[in-house]
Amino acid sequence: MEVEAMKKLLQNTQARRKNFIERYSTSKRYYLNENDITLKNNGESKTKEEDAGKESKNPFRAADNRVSSNFHQLLVDQEAGYLATKPPTIDVDDDKLNQQIKNTLGDNFGLRLNELVVDAANAGIAWLHYWIDIDGQFRYAIVPPDQITPIYSTDLNRKLVELRRSYKELNPDTAKYHWVHEYWDKDTVTAFKSKDEQFTDLQPLDDRFAIYDATTGVETGTSSVNHHGLGRIPFIAFPKNKEKQPDLYHYKGLIDVYDKIYNGYVNDLDDIQQVFLILKNLDGQDLDKFRKDLLRYKSIKIRSMGAGDDSGVDQLAVDIPTEARNSMLETTKTNIFVHAQGIDPTDFKTNNATGTAIKMLYSHLELKAAKTEAYFRDALTELVRAIMNWLHVPDADSRPIEQTWTRTAIQNDVEKAQVVSQLANWTSKEAIAKANPIVEDWQQELKDQQEDLKNRNDEYGNPDNLNGGGDNNDDQERS
């Protein structure tokens, strides 16, 4: 792509990119427990009884505590842990190919999937990039959502036809940052750089990619263009929902209300925690001496002014509406978990809940996780097909791919084991292995069962083989 064409593309997508980054940044702040209530403290939760060295505009309201509640991080990690702690099992109806795909995805695939769920919840969409490294190996990595600006076709297929990736990079020679802008299409990637986001000094990044001689493999130079040869844009979108909307905006207002009520409550406790004494006709003492005498003698000396004198000490107390605030906090907290489709951890009040009761607690979270899984399934299928294309599988783009997702949830293992035991004689070994609460890898469990059966047959003989003469004679005699 030429510089002027790239500059026009950057300018046309900049407004959309900034709007996306703004929403993502807000979600990321709340995920890091830097709610709006802490903006005055640069995102830090602080208790502040009064402004040191400053006179408050309202002497009865000196406290300014700002502590944020970490509901958003709890809710996002709750879904990520429930949905993606155990990576889904991929089955393409070929055991050898299944193992190759599993090896290519790597041991950290579950963690990567967990990170994708977190990114999708915070940004509305997560991105994964794959490539073939210099050694010919298939690699993939998660790209921060705020770096990607996709461009889709205008037809109903909504196919990814172009992609912009922008990020800051440190120049080691000048120790200064500059912007790198990559333009991707199905055949190539072109890199540009600029010092600011106005793109006035946009120019090709000529030393970005190395050029190798096809016959000798020797590096012959560098270029701003690289022919990736993957036949498609090697970025896969993992959307959270149809609208690609971050989860936070379903309940952000409720979290802000909770923070406001909670911190207002703490401020009132700080402001009204002391007893106010109203002294009438104090006997010639300053307040410091009065406090010392009160602590030492446990008495107060008052000067009498004669008949009709009302000298004495009165106490001023201010009541805090505790019941109303507690009720509002509890209602707001309940609404947060309802609107976020999460589970309030305080709902687990018993250690022997039945399987049905546990399922009811997880019902809203399951609805949310199932929806996320539906969108992630398509993305994961695309990743598996990319791996099969790298492995030169002939029908890589049409072979059926089965995914088995496993939830991670609190369960009543005893109750589940009893069900498995009762159905063992009428259910396939595969189904029993999948339902067994002490089995993590059902495929490995089946292999272990077959190996164990083979070892026993080798040692004791096959108990089902009745062709031996002695056994037949014994059976005939018994009959």
Tokens 């040869």 sit at which residue? 229
Question: pLDDT tens per residue, the chain (479 residues)?
Answer: 899 999 999 999 999 999 999 999 999 999 999 999 999 888 888 887 655 444 555 555 667 889 999 999 999 999 999 999 889 999 998 989 999 999 999 999 999 999 999 999 999 999 999 999 888 899 999 999 999 999 999 988 889 999 999 999 998 888 889 999 999 999 999 999 998 878 889 999 988 888 776 677 677 788 899 999 899 999 999 999 999 999 999 999 999 999 999 998 888 887 775 556 666 766 666 777 776 776 676 776 776 666 666 666 766 666 677 888 999 999 999 999 999 999 988 876 655 566 667 778 888 999 999 999 999 999 999 999 999 999 999 999 999 999 989 888 765 455 566 666 776 776 777 777 777 766 767 677 778 777 877 777 776 665 555 444 444 444 444 43
And the tokens for 316?
């001023």
Residues 6+ apart with CB under 8 A from 230: 131, 132, 186, 386
Q: Are 10 and 164 in contact (CB under 8 A)?
A: yes
Q: What CA–CA distance (Å, rounded) separates 209 from 202?
A: 18
Q: Are 466 and 472 in contact (CB under 8 A)?
A: yes
Q: What CA–CA distance (Å, rounded) separates 206 from 224?
A: 4
Exposure of 425 in the CB half-sphere (CA atoms within 13 A): 1
Instruction: For residue 458, count CB atoms less than 10 angstroms from its CB and return exposed for 0-12, middle for 13-18, buried for 19 or more.
Output: exposed
Tell me the CA end-to-end span of the chain in Å, nearest whole number. 89
Distances (CA, A) of 438 to 78, 87, 263, 421, 442: 22, 17, 45, 13, 10
Q: Please tell me the pTM assigned to this model.
A: 0.79
Q: What CA–CA distance (Å, rounded) separates 137 from 153?
A: 31
Helix boundaries (H) for 341-441: 355-361, 363-390, 413-423, 429-435
Greatest alpha-carbon pair distance for the chain in Å reads: 129
Nearest to 151 by CA among 165, 131, 168: 165
- Count CB-CB contacts under 10 A for residue 238: 23
Q: What CA–CA distance (Å, rounded) separates 33 from 73?
A: 7
Residues 6+ apart with CB under 8 A from 25: 146
Q: What CA–CA distance (Å, rounded) separates 44 from 68?
A: 9
And the tokens for 211?
């050029």
Strands (E), 14-123: 89-91
Determine the distance from the C-alpha atom of residue 401 to the mean position of all C-alpha atoms in its chain, rounded to a whole number: 26
Q: What CA–CA distance (Å, rounded) separates 207 from 214?
A: 19
What's the helix, strand, coil split of the chain in %, to 5?
Answer: 45, 20, 35
Question: Cα dihedral angle (176, 1, 244, 390), rounded to 10 degrees?
Answer: -100
| Type and span of the H or E element at 466 | none
And the tokens for 112?
């990567």
Q: What CA–CA distance (Å, rounded) separates 56 from 48?
A: 13
